[in-house]
């Protein structure tokens, strides 16, 4: 649950304290612009991907991997986009476009966790039909983006935060609030607003540790579950019964589901590996 820390900064103070919110990577801006424009199509998106050879190469590698399981070898970006569809292609572009930013301003661990959570959220959305799976992937991938701001502001202090949270069954948000006067959920929502992302995404980023207080508890619950299911050290309990009682789906065997998700995410990460 969110910690009611009296030292928390108000929104205006937050903007002042964390004024260096990074801009959205240019290739991601272009891809989103193409997808939002009904008069454009796959050819335009293919051109954007082909300009960035690293994204094009890794996208083809992923499309031909066991992650998607297509029978036929796909050798061109245009064909890859046809079989994937615009939204899945956008998700691949986002995953790769933000990799450098996340690893430089956060850590490689942050990027890898974000991929795992994206894969988990997509799988959960397919299973429980609470939200479009492609949208769930985006929300899962971006849920922890506020951690970059805390790490950039004070890397040593944030390293201490991560250590303290790892030592016991203490919610990371509580430790962040105690050390910084704010937390990655609040800051992540600020990033989402600056990037002009959909309101539903901002809401889920803001409340993914506390879906009960979201206006969309079940949608936010998808990200809550995904986040906890892919933690390196399983939380106790893995899924909080108090939270699960407030959302519209039930996970009967979360441990088995965790193994399925991690196996699928490992394939994605393998294909995305490298600089």
Contact 130, 221 (CB under 8 A): yes
Q: Which helix (H) or strand (E) segment is 261 a member of?
A: helix 254-272
pLDDT at position 48 is 85
* pLDDT, averaged in runs of 10, over the chain (275 residues): 53 66 85 81 84 86 90 89 87 89 88 96 95 94 94 91 83 92 92 91 96 95 97 88 94 95 94 76
Determine the pLDDT at residue 10. Answer: 63
pLDDT score, position 24: 86
pLDDT score for 19: 67
Distance of alpha carbon 200 from alpha carbon 192, whole angstroms = 10
Q: What distances in angstroms separate CA 150 from CA 138, 225, 259, one per listed residue?
A: 21, 23, 30
Instruction: Judge whether 86 and 33 are in contact, CB under 8 Å.
Output: no
- The 10 Å Cβ neighbour count of residue 111 is 22
pLDDT at 1: 42
What domains sit in the chain, N to C, each tagged with a CATH number? 11-22+100-272 (1.10.3210.10), 26-97 (no CATH)
**What pTM value is reported for the model?**
0.89
Helix (H, G, I), strand (E, B) or coil at 252: coil
User: Which pLDDT score, from 0 to 100, does residue 7 have?
Assistant: 55
Six token digits for residue 135: 């949208």
The pLDDT of residue 198: 92
CA 144 to centroid of chain Cα atoms: 6
Q: What pLDDT score was predicted for residue 159? A: 93
């Amino acid at each position: 649950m969110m910690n009611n820390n009296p030292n928390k900064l108000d929104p205006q103070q937050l903007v002042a304290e964390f004024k260096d919110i990074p801009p959205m990577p240019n290739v991601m801006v272009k891809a989103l612009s193409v997808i939002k424009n009904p008069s454009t199509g796959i050819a335009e998106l293919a051109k954007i991907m082909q300009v960035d050879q690293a994204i094009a190469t890794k996208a083809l590698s992923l499309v031909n991997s066991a992650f998607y399981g297509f029978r036929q070898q796909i050798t061109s970006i245009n064909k890859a986009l046809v079989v994937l569809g615009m939204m899945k292609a956008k998700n691949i572009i986002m995953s790769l476009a933000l990799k450098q930013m996340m690893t430089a301003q956060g850590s490689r661990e942050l990027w890898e966790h974000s991929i795992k959570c994206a894969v988990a959220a997509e799988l959960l959305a397919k299973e429980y039909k609470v939200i479009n799976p492609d949208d769930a992937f985006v929300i899962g991938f971006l849920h922890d983006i506020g951690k970059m701001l805390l790490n950039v502001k004070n890397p040593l202090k944030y390293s201490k935060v991560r250590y303290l949270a790892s030592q016991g069954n203490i919610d990371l948000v509580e430790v962040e609030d105690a050390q910084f006067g704010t937390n990655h959920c609040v800051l992540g929502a600020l990033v989402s607003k600056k990037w002009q992302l959909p309101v539903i995404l901002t809401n889920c980023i803001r409340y993914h540790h506390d879906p009960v207080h979201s206006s969309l508890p079940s949608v936010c619950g998808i990200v809550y579950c995904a986040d906890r299911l892919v933690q390196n050290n399983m939380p106790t309990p893995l899924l909080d019964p108090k939270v699960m009682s407030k959302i519209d789906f039930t996970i009967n065997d979360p441990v088995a589901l965790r193994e399925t998700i991690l196996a699928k995410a490992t394939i994605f990460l393998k294909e995305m590996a490298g600089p």
